[in-house]
């Protein structure tokens, strides 16, 4: 969006929160998708 230089983004998540649980689920879902798509690339 108009930015020409690389931008570093930090994600801060507190322990024992709903947000931490959601981030964990997202990570698991991403790993599952990569394992499925990595096998055949369909």
**What's the CA gap between 15 and 20, in Å, rounded?**
6
Identify the pLDDT of residue 35.
92
Q: Tally the domains of the chain.
A: 1
What's the CA gap between 8 and 36, in Å, rounded?
A: 29
Q: Above pLDDT 90, what percent of the chain? A: 79
Q: Which domain holds residue 16?
A: 1-42
34-40, Cβ contacts within 8 angstroms, sequence gap of 24 or more: none
Please tell me the distance from the alpha carbon of residue 8 to that of residue 32, in angstroms, as a whole number.
Answer: 26
pTM: 0.60
Q: What is the pLDDT of residues 3-29, one digit of tens each?
A: 899 999 999 999 999 999 999 999 999
pLDDT given for residue 1 in this prediction: 73
What is the C-alpha separation between 20 and 18, in angstroms, rounded? 5
């Amino acid at each position: 969006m108009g930015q020409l230089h690389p931008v570093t983004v930090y994600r801060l998540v507190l322990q024992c929160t709903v947000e931490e649980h959601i981030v964990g689920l997202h990570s698991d879902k991403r790993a599952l998708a990569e394992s499925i798509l990595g096998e055949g690339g369909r």
